[in-house]
Amino acid sequence: MAQLAAAVAAPAFGALLYGWLHERPETVRYLDGLMYVAVPGLVAWQVLPHAWAQYGLFAILVMAAGMATPNLIERLSRALAPHTDNLAILGGLTGLGLHAFLEGAALTPADASVSAAVVLHRVPVGLVIWWMLRPRHGFAAGALGIGGIGAATLAGYAAGAELLHGSGVELYQAFVGGSLLHVVFHQSRHDHRHGPH
C-alpha cells in the first residue's frame, strides 16, 4: 500500500518542484529547457519500448502520425488552428492517464523494483503536466491533470494486473506520445507566462 501511496503522490511532488524552481528567475530558462528533454525522454523510456516490442516499425509510424496530425489540422482548418496544441495536450493527457492506469495495475503484484521505477518516473511526469497546463490554463487545470493521474493509478490498482497490455494500448500511447512531442517542440517561450506558479 505504501508503494501505491507514493506512486499517487509523486506527480504532485513534481508539480511542487516545478513551482519551486519556477519562482527562481535564474532557473526558468533551464527549467523550460529541461522540459524539452524530459518529454521526449518520457516518451522514449515509457512509451516506445512497449509499442516497439508489440508492433515494431509500425509503432514509429504511428508516433510520427501523432506528431504530424496537429500540423495537418492547422493547415486544413484555420478555425481549429489556435486549438491544435490544446487538443494535442488533451490527447497526451489521456495517454498519460492510460499509462498511469497500467502502472497502477503493475503495482498489484507488489514487485519492489517495479514500484520504485513507477514512483521515480512519476516526478518528471508531474513536472511535465504542470508545465503544459498551469501556464496556459491556470492552477485548477494543472491540479485536475495531476489529480487525474492519481485517480487513474488507483483505478488501475483496483482493476489488477490482468489488464496490463494489449488491445492496441501501445499504439494509442505511441500516437499520443507523438502529439505530446508536437506540443513541446511547437511551443514557444512566449506561450509560457512566467509569473507566479
Q: Using one digit for the tens of pLDDT, what is the confidence trace for 92-147?
A: 788 788 778 877 877 755 556 556 766 777 888 888 888 888 888 899 999 999 99
**Domain annotation covers residue 196:** no
**Domain annotation covers residue 25:** no
Mean pLDDT of the residues in the chain? 76
**Domain annotation covers residue 64:** yes
Query: Element (H or E) spanning 131, and its range?
Result: helix 112-137
Better pLDDT: 166 or 90: 90
Confidence (pLDDT) at 148: 93
**Domain annotation covers residue 61:** yes
CA-to-CA distance for 105 and 47, rounded, in angstroms?
A: 16
Confidence (pLDDT) at 188: 45
**Domain annotation covers residue 28:** no
At residue 192 the predicted structure's pLDDT band, cuts being 50, 70 and 90, is very low
CB 93: neighbour CB atoms within 10 A? 20
At residue 31 the predicted structure's pLDDT band, cuts being 50, 70 and 90, is low
Domain that holds residue 183: 2-20+33-191
**Domain annotation covers residue 131:** yes
Pair 142, 126: CB distance under 8 Å: no
**Domain annotation covers residue 177:** yes
Confidence (pLDDT) at 114: 55
CA-to-CA distance for 87 and 176, rounded, in angstroms?
A: 10
**Domain annotation covers residue 82:** yes
What phi and psi, each to the nearest 5 degrees, are found at residue 50?
A: -65, -45
Q: How many domains does the chain have?
A: 1
